[in-house]
Chain A
C-alpha cells in the first residue's frame, strides 16, 4: 500500500504520545503491544478498501490516548498536561500585553502577532528541551502527582471493588426463576445436578459426584405444578454447562481444541 510507511509513522507517533501518559510500570509493554497492532490493521485482509484500513489504524492509534486517561492517575496527568499547554499561552499573552500596553487598534494587532510568536517560541523551546534531555520540564511534578493519586486510587479500588470483574454472586444453585403456577422442573433435582456440575468444573468433585457433558444433556427432571424452575431458564444454562464440561478435559492443550 502506498504511503504505508508514512501512515505508520503517524500512528506510532500517536501511540507514543498515549504511552507517555501511562504509568511507568506498564508503559513499555503497552507501547510495544499497540505499535505491533498498527501494521496488522493496515494489512487486515478482511477490510477491502485501503482508505478504510488506514482510517481504522489511525482511529485505533488515536483512541489509545483515551486508555491512558483511564489508567491510575491518568486523569490527573491529562489535566497537568492541559495546564502546561494553557500556561504557555497565558504567559506569552501576559508578557506581550505588559510590554506593549496597547491603546490603539494597531497596538492590539501587535499584541496578537506577539502572542502568536511568543506561544510558538515557548512550545518550540519545550519541544527542544524534551528532545535534548529526554524528558519535559514538568515531568517530575506529574510523576509525583501520579504516584499520589495511584496510592489513593488503589486504596479506593480495594475498598469499593473487592471482587472479580464479573460478580459470581448468585451464580450457583437456587437462582433460577420459578413458575408459581404451571409446570416447572423440580427445584431440588436441578439444584443437585448443578451442584455436581459445579463440583466437577472446579475440580473438587468426589468420584461419585463427577459428571460428564453427556450426563447433563441426558438429564431429566420430575415436573412439579407449582414452584418449579422455569425450564426456559434452566435448559440454556445446562447447555452452557454441558459445553463447559465437554471442553474441560482437553483444556488447556490448545492442539486438541485447535483442530
Chain B
C-alpha cells in the first residue's frame, strides 16, 4: 500500500459514516487534486468507495459530490491499516496491553 493511499484511508476511517468531499480529503490527507481523484476513481471501481451527489440547496449553490467507504471498504481499509501498523517497527519499551493479559 502506498503512503498517499494510506493517508486517504485514514482520513476516511476517522468517521466512516460521514460524507467526505474531495477538498476535505485533500486537506485531511495533504494531497493534491491531481493525485486524489484518480485514486478515488480506482477505489470506486473496486467498490470500496461510493459517491453520491448532495441534494440541491435553496441558496443556489451547486450540489457537491461526496465520497464514503462502503461496508466492504471499511473492512478492507481497517485490515490494511492494521497490517501496515503491525509491520512497522514499534517504539521500544511499549507496554504489552494488559487487557489481554496473557504475556507479562
Contacts and interface: CB of A to CB of B under 8 A. Distances in A.
Given A60-B23, A231-B96, A65 B83 contact: no
Nearest to B38: A70
B83 A67 contact: no
A40 B34 contact: no
B38 A67 contact: yes
B1 interface: yes
Q: Which of B23, B32, B46, B85 has the most C-beta atoms of chain A within 10 angstroms of its own C-beta?
A: B23
Interface of B: 1, 5, 15-18, 21-23, 26-27, 32-35, 37-39, 42-43, 45-46, 48, 61-65, 70-71, 74-83, 85-87, 90, 94, 96-97, 99-103
Contacts of B61: 36, 39
Interface in A152-210: 164-166, 168, 171, 175-177, 183-185, 201-202
Interface of A: 29-30, 32-37, 39-41, 44, 46, 59-60, 63-67, 70-71, 164-166, 168, 171, 175-177, 183-185, 201-202, 217-223, 231-241, 243-244, 247, 251-252, 254, 257-258
A71 B5 CA distance: 18
21 contacts: A33-B64, A35-B62, A39-B61, A60-B26, A63-B32, A67-B34, A70-B34, A164-B48, A165-B42, A171-B83, A221-B100, A231-B96, A231-B103, A232-B86, A235-B96, A235-B100, A236-B82, A244-B78, A251-B71, A257-B15, A257-B17
B34 A64 contact: yes
Contacts of A67: 33-34, 37-38
